[in-house]
Structure formats: structure tokens, C-alpha cells
Structure 1
């Protein structure tokens, strides 16, 4: 790389000057004084950290951590200054820049500048390029600030926190304007384009308006666009714009490369002239209410299309075969529409560059791919929530680069193919809610990069594979199948596991010791199986667990006293702990070169199209007597322990009172006894407490009335006695919460707690008291009646417990058959 010699009057600390990035060098200027792309900061500061090089014309500090800019005003000869992404927020720098009256180009993007744009920027009347995007700037954008900048060609203000109103009338004299970006992240900005005199004085190449309440009164596409003929990038998203997308928008701008109209309220059909033939690279009209069919010859209208997003609309009928002729297409998203019929085979054979294909949430049927394919570059395939059927197509085996495969909520049947193990890059596999059968293939163990696995709600049988190679796994869902046998070592190497859900299968045996070594585990769901033995103490090593369900098994023995070591919601976890897989960004650059300045490098404006496939984790947990679905970050705020419907004995350990962050605790349908711990009053976050169908005795602690969030409390069918609390949340409970406890009393049960309540006496009683004699016959009948009461009570107790266990078993069988 050629370099300019360093003149003697500059510090010997080296800096590089790349001639290749120079557009033009002023012939009258000493070359090194024209532009510096600084590699060593000492080259531009003196011993007092003062900026020197007063004759410097252009300075590029982009992507550095240089922050010695308090004297930026000393560089009075600067015509171009690039401070992109240097992490600065000093407002004095902005004031100093106002002194640089010769500036032609100024890039302050992707920093932390805050507050309003200084009004002194209006004095920078020589500016041709101004980029203030992606900061924390706020307040109004006064027209008095923008109006004087009549020479500006590119003005970028998006990605800030602006508010108030902005009128395009401020740009009425900007005849050189070619690029304009404006957007607000807080939706407080209101932009009006309709007061601009027509025709406008400018011809734009770039227009980006996002989230700024565009034309609130009319909610229409800006009228001035009718006069624009040179637009390359048009982005109008999140404005609730209405009406039909005008056909002239595409017909007038034959150089258009990127069109984004997503997140609006456009309706009607999407009409495109077959003979249009423009070089559109990206088209995103997602999340509107566009109806009708996709243009049948879309390949002729947009032959160069690289990514297409029509999701979230009301498109219907068949997917056009012409999509298969888009040989440059990298991403096609047709999800959340009303498409029907089969997927055209041409997509599988013609879209050779396809990386992303999303067909979710439609009415598609048949199979895909239906035959051989050439989708060798495919990385993300979403076929979920359709009506696909048949076996999993062998054509998928020709896509070895798959990172994500989602065929959930369809009617696929047969076995999981063994060639699934050849997808060495696979990170997420979702085949849930289908009709898949047979056992899990050992080939699953080859997926060493797999992070997310969901095979739930199928008809899988047999044992779990015996392997330990799933070292990247974070989430596994196998619930509602018929998997049997012991819990194998399949997950013994999955030390990153966050959710383990094996509920409602036919698993037997105990809980393996290695489960206690899965230190990142936050959700453990093993309910509805045939596991037995004592609840192992190694579960207490799972200190990050927030939800644990061991219900409807055959666990016996006492409750572990060490459960207070488990967080059950007390830990502080990442807010994205329950996100399946990382977002995927598709970099389709639209490169635009604005007219290069006299001094600085050619500036490229790129649009990065991002497709996010991060989905929320979901688990099912019974709380408040209902099966609830908890998804995404809500899981960070839910905590619970369900040990119901087992054969547990003994008393509740007092340590359970230390579970201060738990929200749901279910110990019902066991053989627990003793008293309800008064320390339960320390469960100050508890919302649901179920102790029903046990052998608890004694009184309900009055201290429990201090539990302010308790909405479900059930102690029915125990041997409790004494007065029922009737203050706090207990005032909202009724007798259904206390059934089967004849010793309980109180106003809520309409049963007096006074043992000396008067009883009416009859004449016979008085005679007995007077005579002092004992009637032998009466005594015999009384003894016999008491004996029979005891016998009947024992029989009723036995039958009640038997019926209880049968109902539990029936409920278990229903759960096993539900998928």
C-alpha cells in the first residue's frame, strides 16, 4: 500500500495515508495535510494533548476509541470529519464542531450524543453530508436549523429519540438533496410531507422514514413521491399508511433496488406490470393487509430479486410457480398468509441461491420438497403450522447446510429419518405436534451443534438414545409421547441445558445422578411418568431452577429438606435466557455512492436486511389449578414446585418456608402429615398453595393471612381443625377450599367454633339426671352405634383414598393420550 512521506513538522509517530481511498487531492495543498486516516493518535496531538495540524482538511477517526476532541474547534481548515462509532457523548464536541464553518462532510453516527441538536449547526451552511443517525438525540428538529443547510445532499437523522413535529416544508429550498433519513425510536415524532410545494426541488435517491407517524391526517404515501424518478432506496415502515400500494411507485423509479413498506395498513391487491423488469434487489411489504394473489409473473417484474418478504398479509390461492425462476433469491418469506395448495416444485429446483424459506402459518398441504431439490444453500426452513402430510421428504437430505428446520404442527408421519444426523450445522430442530412414530434414532446424537430440540406431541415410543454427544443443547422438549424405559445418559454431556421437558411419557426408574450436574438448568419437567424411588438429593444442586414439576409419578419417601437451596425465582438471570436460537441477519447490501466530495473518500450507504428467527421458549406448568403456558421472558418471573400425585410421606420440612420467591407450590394428593408450617407466612410471593388430599392436622396458621398475593389456597380433605383465617386474602376464599375437614370452623364455613353452644334438653334427659340410673339397653345401643360410626369412617376413608388414586391414574392416562 503506497504511503505519503511524513513531513518533518509532524510527530514521528506513524500514521498511514491510503491513496486508494482518496477521490481527489487538492493540487495546492501539501498531500499529508489533506486527509488523515489516523492509526496512531499521537500523530495529531501535542505534548499537552491539544489537537494540532491546523491545516488538516479531512480527518477520519471512525471505529476508534479516540476521545481527545475537546479542542476540535482548533481544526478550522477541516472540510470532512468522520467520528462514526467512537463512543463519545461529550456535548462540548458538538459545540466545537459548530466552529468548523468549512465543513462539507460530517459523520457523527452511532455514538452516544444526547439532547437536542445544537442550533449552531445551522451555521454549517457548507455541509453536503450530515449523518447524526443512531445516537440518543431528542427534542424537536426546528425548521430554523434545517432550512439554512441548502447545500446538503445527504441528511441522516434516523435512530434517535426525536419528538414533536417535522415538516418537509423545511426542505423546500434543498435542490441538491439526494438522501434523507428520519425516524424515531419512541414514536413521538410526527412527520408531515403534504405541505411541501409540488413539484419538489429535489430528486431523491434515498428516502428512509420509519416510526415517525407519517402524514397522520391522510395516512397516505407522500404525494411528492409522484415526482421522484431516481429513487434507489425507499423505506416507509411503521406508519399505519392505508390504501393500495400505487403502481406508479415502481413504474416511475426504474432504478429502485430496495422497497420496504412493512408494518403499515395497506390493503387491496399488489399489482405489478409484468413488463416492469426493474433491478429490484429487496422487496418487503410484510405486516399489512394486502389481499389477492401474488403476481403470477413476479419473476419478470423483478428478475434480480434477492429477498422477498410478503409475510403477515392476506395473500391467498396457490403460490405462483414463477417464484422458482428467481435464481438469485436468497430469502423468501410467505408466512402468515392464506396460501393453499401444494408448494411448487420449481422453488426446490430453481432457487439455487436460497438460504431462507419461510412458509409458516398457511393452508398448504402435500409434502415439501415433493421430489429432488437443488436447495444446497438452504440454512433456514420453516414449514410449521400448515397441513403437510406424508413422510418427511428425503429431498431435505440435499440441504446439508441447514441450521434450522421447523416442520411442527403438521401431519407428518412415519419415522424420523436417520439422515437427520448428517446435518452437522443444525442448531434448531422442531418436529413437534405431528404423527411421528417409532423410537428416536441414534442419529440424533450426531447433532453436536444442536441447541434446540422439540419432538413433543408425537407418538414416539421406545427408550431414549444412549449417548452423551449433545454438548451444545440448551432446550429439549419431548413431552406428550410414549417414550419408555429409564432416563438414559443422552443428556449427560449437555451442560448448557436450560430447559429439560420429558413430561407425560412412560419413563420409569429414578432420576439419574448426572441431572444434578446440569448447573444451567432453569426448568425441569418430569411430571406424568412412572418414575419412582425417593426424590434424589442431587436435585438440590440445581440452584438455578425456577420451575420443577415431578407430579403424577410414584415418588415415595419424605420431602427433601435441601430444596431451599434451589432458587425458585430468587436468582437474577439474563432476560434472553428463554430464547431458542440467535437472530439471523441477511446482509443484502444496497450500495449507493453519493457524489464524492473534493477531499474525502467515496461514501457508501448500505441497507442491511435482518431476519430474526429468535423465538420465545414455551413451557406448560400447572398453577392456580390450571395448566398454563409460560413463554419467553415471562418465564423469568414464574417460579413453582409441583410434587402432587405421588406417594410422599412425612411432614413438610420447615426449610420450605425459605422459598421466599416461589409463586406456586403444589403438594396435593400425597400422604403428607403433621401441621402446616407457620413459616409458610414467609412465602411472600406465593400465589397458589395446594395442600389438599393429604393427612395434615392441627390448625391453619393465622400468620398465612399476611400472604398478600395468595389467590389459590386449597387444604381440602385433610384432618385440619380450628378456626379458618378470614382476614387478608383469606376473606376471598369459600368452603370449597376446606372440604373434608370436619374439624374446621369459622364464619366462612358457617360453622361455630364455640364448644359451649347451648343444646336443647328433653324430659328423658332430666329423668336420667334425677334418678342417676343407667339404662343398660340404651348404653348397649350407644356403644354399638359408636362402633359402627368408627367402622363406617374407616371404610369411607379407604374408599375415598382409593377413588382419589384412581382419579389420579385416570387423569394421568388422559394426559398420556393427549397430544
Structure 2
């Protein structure tokens, strides 16, 4: 941002949000003395809180959401005496929250969520007149210890979010919230408390619309009656064992989340008759069926339905035409995928992974060719060819891994210009490498492993630049040929720290935000793990193992400085281990075993301090293990067929092995002599 901006002395409103700036705000911004509104959200700005802003006494609104600001807030925030809204959500601010913020008489909105604030919350002395503060958002910080009872002084609050406050297994006095008679939205999820809260306590807050108590042990009485105004109720992970009957009377309920509990039996018929209910999440329970007729759900007007991770089995439920989101993954459904699903023309997410569906992918999925964002059919028994016509141009995530699909990769995927996640792994797809996938600018996850792909991975006429790719798995195929030295030069997301929008978390419009996460398997440090949702942004991996690749390992591999896992094992690579691997400072797992590599281990690899697993076995390496390096402390280090001063067993074991070999020779010689004597 140019410093000349400070010359605009008559400027009253400055909006630079949603840009790609670098660095800090210029000091000259303190010259904008007439400024009343400052909007800098999602602008990639960094540095500490700009102290120059404290001189702008006319400011009524400051919006610094989702930048990279850090450090502590100044203690004299009350100098901004006209401030109405202060939103710094999604930065890295730390330290304590200045009590002076609560002394600003005009302040109505204070949003400090998703930072690293800690310590107790000091509200300070509030005047005898009612506080004007209406919105207080403190979620996802590092607050710990008891929740301050002084929050009850903020009687004007209509929105309060204390989610993920770490009470350190302490007790919470939930009665302090009863003083907040104007509350419409209350988020108290995941407080890490031993307290059991009586849900009836909140029946006294008559204005309450949205109540979030996930992660807290909740007690529900038989006579419970919450305010009829309740529209959103989140009771996930609340240790509930019986379906809450009081819900029958919640005629305004729009969104219900009772996932991750221990409720068993059948889902009551009356649930689907609640007139305002649109979002239903009953996933991760022990349900095994539905009360009522086969069309009990179809007769409703639900928009989002999540019944995943239960014990549901056939018949598959009939769904309402209004359905936008449906997840039935991790159940016991079988047979062919019901063609009735194709009538859901508004569907944008369909997740049926981890069932036992068989047959082919329905041709009628072409009905979704402009609407479907997410199609997840992983780990079923689907067979046949993936129909070209069934590919939606709106796809962001396609997961059909672990099935029995055959034929070629559908070329119609080239139309999916916003595709981010593609998993075709563990099928029987017989095709050459799809170079055309590099034309998809947003592709981040590509899994083609364990199929029948074949042929070269490079072509003179095809560029293989994947600027946003962060997971690349083509293992256990039949790829052949040599990789050019600049093969990885265009893989930008793995070569530098870049901000990648995590659309693996798909949100929906409405009064609540149901979502669906992607997931994919990964082997790291010798352990198999499943990565889910936003964890993808942390892992950048390449797995080309189990193919027939030959020639040198490309030197350009050293450009991928953000790589976490690299597996090039079980190929026919020759030449030396490239010293450029030493540039992969974040590498945790390196497997180059079962190749034909020669020469020594580059001593520079000892600088890889995060490396926890290294496998060089079954090669033709020679020379010493680099002395005094990280390599010598590896948990797993296979160095078979190494000559010189290299020691792949401890000295003690090596000596024992030598003695054992000598004993065998002596025994063999004795037997031979004994045989001669018998003759």
C-alpha cells in the first residue's frame, strides 16, 4: 500500500478488502484524520496493530478480518471514543484483551475470534448505564481458566460466542448467562468443562434464537420446554442417549445438530413433520431405521440431511425434491445406487462413501451436470466405466476411490475448471497419464494410485505444471520412462508457502452452516493415516512408488521446499541421490528404497531436522553415512549393500553376525572332514 495514501486528508471511507497486498499498513495512514470507516479484510496484510489508527478519533468502524496481523493490542484502545464496530477475526493477535475496549461507550460490535488471545478476560468497570455492546465474539482463542462472571454485566448483548474457551476441566457457572435477557445467539461449544448443564436453564432466555452447546454434557428433563423462538440448536457430542422428545414442540426450529451422540433405534416420524426444519444432522449415532412409511422424509421440505456414520440399511430412504445436501456415508446400504436420487435437481452434495453399493454409476447423474459440487462414492463395490455424461461441470470434489471402476478416466473432467479434489485411486482404470489435468487451475489433490495406468509421465507436447497441487499419488501403476530434470519446476504450491483457499470445507447459505469434508489416505513415517478437511492444507506429498520409472531423480525435486512426504520407492531410478533434497526443510518421510541408486548419501541430508523416517534400502549405495547428522538418529534406516565405513547395524550386532558366520563355516568344515573320514 503506497504511503502517498496518507495525503488524502479528506477521505472518510477506505475499503481495500479482498486484495493481495504485502507488508504492513504505511505509517502515513495516521494522516487520514477524517476517516470514519476502515475496511481491510482479507487483504494479506501483516505486522502489528497499526498504532497510527489510535490517532484517528473519528473512526466508527475498523475491519481487519482474516489478515496476518500479530502481536498485542495497545492498552489505550479507549482513545477510539467513537468506535461502533471493531472486527479483527482471523488473525494472530495474542496477549490479553485490553479492558479499555469495554470502556468505549459507543462500541456495539467486538469481534476478536480466531486469534491467540489468552489469560483471563477483564471486562473492567462498566458505568451504571446499560452497556451498548451487542455482539461479543471471542471464539477459538487461547483463553483458559474460569469464564468471567463479569460477562453478566454486558446486559445489552444479543450475540455471544465463547466457543473453545479452555476451562481446563473446571466448572462453568451457566447461570451467569441468565442476566443476558436480550440474547438471540449463544455459542458455548467445546468449553472443556466437567460441568453438566441443565438444558432447561436456557428456557428463561425468551429471546433466544440460536443455541450451540456442542461438546458439553447436557441433561434433558422429560418436561423440558425451550423458547418457541429457537431456530438453531447444536447439541453435537453432548452424551445424549435418547432422542429428545421436547423437539416436537420446537415449531420454529430450522437447523438441528444432534450428531456424535449415542442415540439408538429408529428416527421418530414426527421429526420430519416439524414445519420450519430444513437442516438435519443426526450423523455418528446408532440409528438403524426410520419410523413411518417409506416416503416419511420425502414428504418434508428438508434442504440438508446428514445421516452418515450410523447403522442404516436398506431400503434407502426416499428424499425430498428440495434436498441440496445429502450424506449417507458409513452405513450399510447395498444394491444399486437408487435412480430416484437423479430427481433431486437441486442437489449439490451427494456423499455415499463406505457402504456396499454395487453396479454402475447411474447415467442419470447427468441431471446434475451443472449443479453438483461434491460427489463422494468412495469404498463401495461400484463397477463399469465412469460415464462421461455424469461429470458435473460444477464439481469441486470427486471421490470414487476404492471401487472396481474400469475403462479410461473420463475426459469430460477437463470441463471442471473449479475441480480441487480428484480421487480415482484403488480401481481398475486402464489409461495413460492424463496430461490434460494440468489445465485445471484449481486442482489441489490428485490420487490415481493402485490402478492400471501406464506409459510415460512426460511428453514433449504436454506441460505438466500443477500450480496448486499439494497431494500427488500415482503409486502402484505401470508408468514408465524418464522424468526430465525440470519435471517439478511448475509445482508452485509445493515450492513456497501459499495461501490456499480450503474449499474442501463446503458451506451453505442459510441460518446455519452444514458442511462436508474431503478425506484421503496417506502413509507418513510408516503409519497410515486419514487426512480430513482443512488438514489437507498442512500436508504436501508426492508418491510415485511402485511404478517402472527410470533414469535420474529430477534435480527439480529440490524446489519443492514445502514437501512433507516423498515416496519414490520400488522403481528403477539410477544415478545419485540428488543433493537438492537437502532443500526440503519440512520433509518428514523420505523413501527411495528398491531402486538402482548408486554413489553415496549426500551429507547435506543431515540438515533435514524434521525427518523422522528415511528408507534407502535395496539400492547400490556406497561410502560412509554422514557423520554427526540427523541421519544417524533415524528411527528407521535401511542401508543394505553399503560398503566402506557405513554401519547399518550397531557395532555389537555386526560383530555378533560376523562370529555367527564364522561358526557356520567351522561347522560346515567339520561336517566335510567327517564325511571324508567316513569314506
- Aligned counterpart in structure 2 of residue 270 of structure 1, from 199, 205, 211: 199
Moved more, 613-622 or 435-444: 613-622
Equivalent-residue separation in structure 2 for 1:462 and 1:353 (angstroms)? 42
Equivalent-residue separation in structure 2 for 1:111 and 1:735 (angstroms)? 50
Q: Report if aligned partners of 1:166, 1:191 keep a CA contact under 8 Å in 2.
A: no
Q: Report if aligned partners of 2:97, 2:121 keep a CA contact under 8 Å in 1.
A: no
Shift of 1:502: 0.8
| Structure 1 residues 68 and 339: CA distance shift in structure 2, 3 A | same
| Structure 1 residues 297 and 267: CA distance shift in structure 2, 3 A | closer
CA-to-aligned-CA distance 1:35-65 (integer Å, 9 cap, x gap)? xxxxxxxxxxxxx9999xxxxxxxxx99999
Equivalent in the alignment of 1:532: 454
Equivalent in the alignment of 2:359: 438
Per the alignment, in what secondary structure is the counterpart of residue 503 of structure 1? Answer: coil
- Aligned counterpart in structure 2 of residue 542 of structure 1, from 461, 466, 480: 466
Equivalent in the alignment of 2:342: 421
- Aligned counterpart in structure 1 of residue 284 of structure 2, from 361, 382, 389: 361
Q: How do residues 555-634 of structure 1 correspond to structure 2 at under 5 angstroms?
A: 555-567=479-491, 569-582=494-507, 584-586=509-511, 611-634=512-535
Equivalent-residue separation in structure 1 for 2:329 and 2:243 (angstroms)? 21
CA-to-aligned-CA distance 1:225-256 (integer Å, 9 cap, x gap)? 77x6x934266644988xxxxxxxxxxxxxxx
Equivalent-residue separation in structure 1 for 2:606 and 2:30 (angstroms)? 62
Q: Report if aligned partners of 2:478, 2:548 keep a CA contact under 8 Å in 1.
A: yes
Give TM-score scaled by structure 2 length: 0.74
Equivalent in the alignment of 2:386: 464
Equivalent in the alignment of 1:331: 255
Equivalent in the alignment of 2:181: 231
- Aligned counterpart in structure 1 of residue 537 of structure 2, from 636, 641, 645: 636
Structure 2 residue 230 is the aligned partner of structure 1 residue 308? no
| Structure 1 residues 280 and 358: CA distance shift in structure 2, 3 A | farther
Equivalent-residue separation in structure 2 for 1:535 and 1:340 (angstroms)? 51
Equivalent in the alignment of 2:614: 713
Shift of 1:681: 4.2
Equivalent in the alignment of 2:23: none
Equivalent in the alignment of 2:563: 662
Per the alignment, in what secondary structure is the counterpart of residue 253 of structure 2? Answer: coil
Equivalent-residue separation in structure 2 for 1:585 and 1:498 (angstroms)? 24
Equivalent in the alignment of 1:381: 305
| Structure 1 residues 339 and 571: CA distance shift in structure 2, 3 A | same
Q: Report if aligned partners of 1:162, 1:184 keep a CA contact under 8 Å in 2.
A: no
Q: Report if aligned partners of 2:241, 2:263 keep a CA contact under 8 Å in 1.
A: yes
Equivalent-residue separation in structure 2 for 1:578 and 1:482 (angstroms)? 28
Q: Aligned pairs, how many?
A: 599
* Greater RCO structure (CA 8 Å; 6+ sep): 1
Per the alignment, in what secondary structure is the counterpart of residue 590 of structure 2? Answer: strand
Shift of 1:465: 1.1
Moved more, 177-186 or 691-700: 177-186
Equivalent-residue separation in structure 1 for 2:15 and 2:479 (angstroms)? 61
CA-to-aligned-CA distance 1:144-184 (integer Å, 9 cap, x gap)? x96xx9xx8x974632589876468745x43x679766565
Equivalent in the alignment of 1:159: 111
Per the alignment, in what secondary structure is the counterpart of residue 329 of structure 2? Answer: coil
Shift of 1:526: 0.8
Equivalent-residue separation in structure 2 for 1:312 and 1:339 (angstroms)? 11
Shift of 1:121: 9.0
| Structure 1 residues 742 and 132: CA distance shift in structure 2, 3 A | closer
- Aligned counterpart in structure 2 of residue 412 of structure 1, from 329, 333, 343: 333
Equivalent in the alignment of 2:572: 671
Equivalent in the alignment of 1:14: none
Equivalent-residue separation in structure 1 for 2:10 and 2:577 (angstroms)? 74
Equivalent-residue separation in structure 1 for 2:635 and 2:297 (angstroms)? 64
Equivalent in the alignment of 2:646: 746
Q: Report if aligned partners of 1:323, 1:346 keep a CA contact under 8 Å in 2.
A: no
Equivalent in the alignment of 1:43: none
Equivalent-residue separation in structure 2 for 1:524 and 1:405 (angstroms)? 24
Equivalent-residue separation in structure 1 for 2:500 and 2:596 (angstroms)? 41
| Structure 1 residues 621 and 83: CA distance shift in structure 2, 3 A | same
Equivalent-residue separation in structure 1 for 2:537 and 2:204 (angstroms)? 51
Per the alignment, in what secondary structure is the counterpart of residue 524 of structure 1? Answer: strand
Moved more, 449-458 or 155-164: 155-164
- Aligned counterpart in structure 2 of residue 108 of structure 1, from 60, 68, 73: 60
Equivalent-residue separation in structure 1 for 2:241 and 2:161 (angstroms)? 28
Shift of 1:406: 1.2
Shift of 1:528: 1.0
Q: Report if aligned partners of 1:720, 1:743 keep a CA contact under 8 Å in 2.
A: yes
Larger of the two Rg values belongs to structure:
1
CA-to-aligned-CA distance 1:199-224 (integer Å, 9 cap, x gap)? x9x9x57565554989999742456x
Equivalent-residue separation in structure 2 for 1:195 and 1:419 (angstroms)? 52
Equivalent-residue separation in structure 2 for 1:195 and 1:700 (angstroms)? 61
Per the alignment, in what secondary structure is the counterpart of residue 358 of structure 2? Answer: strand
Equivalent in the alignment of 1:290: 217
Equivalent in the alignment of 1:390: 314
Q: How do residues 177-192 of structure 1 correspond to structure 2 at under 5 angstroms?
A: 184=138
Per the alignment, in what secondary structure is the counterpart of residue 405 of structure 1? Answer: strand
| Structure 1 residues 631 and 310: CA distance shift in structure 2, 3 A | closer
Equivalent in the alignment of 1:768: none
| Structure 1 residues 234 and 667: CA distance shift in structure 2, 3 A | closer
Shift of 1:305: 3.8
Q: Report if aligned partners of 1:723, 1:746 keep a CA contact under 8 Å in 2.
A: yes
| Structure 1 residues 324 and 49: CA distance shift in structure 2, 3 A | same
Q: Report if aligned partners of 1:485, 1:508 keep a CA contact under 8 Å in 2.
A: yes
Cα RMSD for the two superposed structures = 4.6
Structure 2 residue 401 is the aligned partner of structure 1 residue 449? no
Equivalent in the alignment of 1:476: 398
Shift of 1:710: 3.5
Per the alignment, in what secondary structure is the counterpart of residue 270 of structure 2? Answer: helix
Shift of 1:374: 5.7
Equivalent-residue separation in structure 2 for 1:484 and 1:195 (angstroms)? 61
Q: Report if aligned partners of 2:9, 2:31 keep a CA contact under 8 Å in 1.
A: no
Per the alignment, in what secondary structure is the counterpart of residue 347 of structure 1? Answer: helix
Moved more, 522-531 or 690-699: 690-699
Shift of 1:267: 0.7
Equivalent-residue separation in structure 1 for 2:438 and 2:298 (angstroms)? 45
Q: Report if aligned partners of 2:426, 2:451 keep a CA contact under 8 Å in 1.
A: yes
| Structure 1 residues 708 and 49: CA distance shift in structure 2, 3 A | closer
Equivalent in the alignment of 1:491: 413
Equivalent-residue separation in structure 2 for 1:360 and 1:329 (angstroms)? 18
Q: Report if aligned partners of 2:213, 2:234 keep a CA contact under 8 Å in 1.
A: yes
Equivalent-residue separation in structure 2 for 1:218 and 1:630 (angstroms)? 33
Structure 2 residue 269 is the aligned partner of structure 1 residue 340? no
Equivalent-residue separation in structure 1 for 2:408 and 2:80 (angstroms)? 72
